Structures are given as C-alpha cells and as structure tokens.
Amino acid sequence: MCTSSDSFGVPHDPGSGVVRTVTHRNDRDPGLFGARRSGDSAGIWRGCRLMCRLRHTPGAKRDFQVALWPPTLRRMATWADFEASAPSMAARGLQQLREIPVGYLATVRKDGAPRLHPVCPHIAEGRLFVIVTDRSPKRFDLARDGRYALHLLPPPLPPDDPAFDEFELNLTGRARRVPNSEAATWAAVRAVCFYEFPDHHWLFELDIENALTSVWDPIGAPGRRAHRLTWRPGTMEHAPSNEAVAFG
C-alpha cells in the first residue's frame, strides 16, 4: 500500500537503467485511494479517477505496477550491463549458449500458474532476446505480465568427464516486446539468429534483474556441494575470481 510518504523507483524505460522517483502524496490519509474510512465518498472518487487514468493513460498502468514491485525488481540491466559487472559469469553463460543454444523459459499465465517452454535465447548488441512464434501462448504471458525466469542447460558432457561441473545459469527479470517499428533491433537479432523468422513472430527483450550461477564439485568428491554466485544490478555476492560462494 502507498502511504503519504512512500517513494518508488520507476524506470523510464525497462532497458535504460535510468530510474526516476515517484512519490504518492496524500496529506489527509495513508490509503491507496485516499479513503480515510469505509464509505468515504471522496476517497472512492479518487480511486475511480486513478483507475480511469490507469486504463486510458499510456504507460500509467505499467508505472503503477512497477511502483508496487518489491525493491529488488525495480532495477533491471541489459546483458551488456551484466557482462561489464560480472564478466566471468557472463562469459561462462555465453559459452554455454554457444554449446547448447537452448534454454527453458518460465512465464506466468493469466491465472497466475507457471508455464514452461524451451526457447533459443539470442544476444545482439549487448541485449538478450527471445523470439516467440505467433501461435505460442507464452507471447501473451510476456506481453501481459513480463516476469520471466530463464534456465540454461548444463554442458553437453558425460558425468565422468573431469570438465563436467553441472554449470547452470539462471536469469530472472522482465520482458519487453520489441515492436516491428524498431527495425534496427530486429535486424540485429536476425544477424545473430541461426534460423529465419518472419515478421509476424513476436520479439522480446529480456531485461535482467537477477543472475545465479551454480557449479558442482566433481561427482564422487568428498562432501560434494554446489558453489553459487548471485548477481544483481549494482551488487553481487563477491568471491575471489578463482573461488565461489559455497553452500552446504
């Protein structure tokens, strides 16, 4: 709920990384719509006006939803931001994509249930994209809600290979549909895509809110455990470059 002094960081553009502050001001009451008590007609009228503005003002609904997200969901980054801030994590993820250009994308259905799909992520001009066919239900999930989780597959090695470490990369954040009018972006994705896709498919850019890598000790190692490293825009659970954050 908004209060008389609540401030929220709302991105101007999901991919820009620029954050502005939106403050809900109401000197008379702390309610979201300004209703001091049940039956307050003035508060109800203010609530109706807010609903009208959310429905008819372009971008207002998105900004309002962003304002109510938890703080960790308000800061998004591009793949280039991730690469610049955590180069070793990003490099390993890029290597993984080159070896197995497939991942699993989780989205949120209209009824709130999760949906899981195999996708082929693409990195173009320092940004992360997925292409969705015009028959896939996940296009509506991403356009309506935007929240996603992307899981890259482990290396294509047998478990007894010394190099097999079960590396995993998980990304979460928000998706933004790229309209066909952004021809330069479409051209950049087509340049790196290994297959042709028509204009009626849907193109989404995946902004990154959180990245998690997992590396396991070799199979059979005493006290085998996972080593995990978490990155968020501007922060990271740091460890020396030749070590990892260990969890029992």
Q: What is the CATH number of the domain that holds 214?
A: 2.30.110.10
User: How far, in whole angstroms, is CA 143 from its chain's centroid?
Assistant: 13
**In contact, 105 and 150? CB cutoff 8 Å:** yes
The pLDDT, as a whole number, for residue 20 is: 39
The pLDDT, as a whole number, for residue 122 is: 95
The pLDDT, as a whole number, for residue 59 is: 52
**pLDDT < 50: residue spans in the chain:** 1-38, 63, 66-73, 238-248
Considering the domain architecture, whether residues 59 and 159 belong to the same structural domain is answered as no
Considering the domain architecture, whether residues 105 and 159 belong to the same structural domain is answered as yes
Is residue 156 one of the residues assigned to a domain?
A: yes
How do strand 245-247 and strand 226-232 relate by DSSP bridges?
antiparallel
Q: Would you state the structure tokens that stand for residue 51, as one six-digit string?
A: 């609903």
How many structural domains is the chain composed of? 2
Last residue of a domain, one of 29, 58, 73: 73
The pLDDT, as a whole number, for residue 104 is: 95
Element (H, E) at 122: strand 122-124
DSSP-derived letter for residue 208 is: E
Considering the domain architecture, whether residues 117 and 44 belong to the same structural domain is answered as no
Q: Report H helices in 136-213.
A: 138-144, 183-192
170, amino acid identity: N
Residues in the chain: 248
Q: Would you state the structure tokens that stand for residue 55, as one six-digit string?
A: 């429905």
Considering the domain architecture, whether residues 102 and 62 belong to the same structural domain is answered as no
The pLDDT, as a whole number, for residue 168 is: 85
The pLDDT, as a whole number, for residue 141 is: 92
The pLDDT, as a whole number, for residue 75 is: 72
The pLDDT, as a whole number, for residue 100 is: 86
The pLDDT, as a whole number, for residue 154 is: 77
Considering the domain architecture, whether residues 183 and 234 belong to the same structural domain is answered as yes
Q: Would you state the structure tokens that stand for residue 186, as one six-digit string?
A: 């479409």
Q: Would you state the structure tokens that stand for residue 219, as one six-digit string?
A: 């199979």
CA atoms within 13 A on the CB side of 145: 19
Is residue 101 one of the residues assigned to a domain?
A: yes
Considering the domain architecture, whether residues 104 and 40 belong to the same structural domain is answered as no
Is residue 202 one of the residues assigned to a domain?
A: yes
Considering the domain architecture, whether residues 109 and 217 belong to the same structural domain is answered as yes
Last residue of a domain, one of 46, 73, 100: 73
Considering the domain architecture, whether residues 15 and 112 belong to the same structural domain is answered as no
Considering the domain architecture, whether residues 38 and 129 belong to the same structural domain is answered as no
The pLDDT, as a whole number, for residue 38 is: 47
Considering the domain architecture, whether residues 146 and 220 belong to the same structural domain is answered as yes
| Residue-range definition of the domain harbouring residue 66 | 7-73
